[in-house]
Amino acid sequence: MNRTEKQQAVGSLHERFQEINSLFLINYSGLKVVDATELRKKIKDISGTYLVVKNTLALRAAKDTRVEQLGAHFQGPTAIAYHPQDVVALAKLLTEVTKTMPAVQFKAALVDGRVVPASEIHTIASMPSREVLLATLLSLLKAPLQRLPGLLTAPLRDLALMLRQIQK
C-alpha cells in the first residue's frame, strides 16, 4: 500500500469513525477464511458492517473521534463490527458467534460513546432488542390514557352503587 492509498484509507475510516456511536473491537486470530466469510455474512444480514483494519491506520483515523478512547485496544489482529442503529442486536449476534467460533474474541466496545470492557459485552447482549424496548416504552406512555375513562366514570359508578345500597 503506497502513501496515497494509506491516506485515502485513513480518510475513509475517519469519516466512518465520526458517524459511529457504537462499535465492537474483535480479535479474530486463528479464524478460518470460511468462518470469517460466514461472520461477515451474518453481520451484513442484520445491516451491520465488519471491517478488518490495520492498527496504525485505525489509530490515525480515530484521532478526534469517539473511537480514540479505544486506542489501547488496537493491538494484534483487529476487526471492527458496528451497526448504525441497533447495537444490542449486533452484540447478541457477536456473542452467539463467540460461542460457535472460539477464535473470535471481544477486545472492547464503544457503546453510545462510552468504553465498555470485553467482560461487560455479554450484559449488553442480554438486553432486550430495540423494538422490544420501544414497545415497552409505548405501552408505558399509553397506559394512563387507557385508564382515564375508568377513572372518569368511577365517581358516577360509585354514586350509583351507593344509591342502590341506600334503596335496599
Residue 11 Cα to chain centre, angstroms: 24
20, 66 Cβ separation under 8 angstroms: yes
Q: What is the mean pLDDT of residues 141-146?
A: 84
Query: Full-prediction pTM beyond 0.85?
Result: no
Reply yes or no on whether the pLDDT at 1 is more than 80.
Answer: no
What is the side-by-side strand order in the sheet with 49-53?
49-53, 78-82, 23-27, 105-111, 114-117
pLDDT value, residue 80: 92
- The mean of the pLDDT values for the chain is 88
Closest CA to 31 of 55, 5, 52: 52
Of the candidate ranges 13-22, 57-66, 109-118, 149-158, the one whose mean pLDDT is the lowest: 149-158
Give residue-wise pLDDT tens across range 103-122. 889 999 998 888 888 888 88
- Residue 40's pLDDT is what? 92
Longest dimension (CA), the chain: 98
Strands 23-27 and 105-111 turn out to be antiparallel
Residue 2 has pLDDT above 90, yes or no: no
Q: Mean pLDDT, to the nearest integer, of 123-130? A: 80
What distance in Å separates the CA atoms of residue 72 and residue 68, rounded to the nearest whole number?
9
**pLDDT of residue 44 exceeding 90:** yes
How far apart are the C-alpha atoms of 40 and 58, rounded to whole Å? Answer: 19
Q: Are the C-beta atoms of residues 23 and 90 closer than 8 Å to each other?
A: no
Q: Which residues of 60-70 are buried (b: 16+ CB within 10 A; e: fewer)?
A: bbbeebbbeeb
Q: What is the pLDDT of residue 41?
A: 94
As a whole number, mean pLDDT of residues 128-134 equals 80
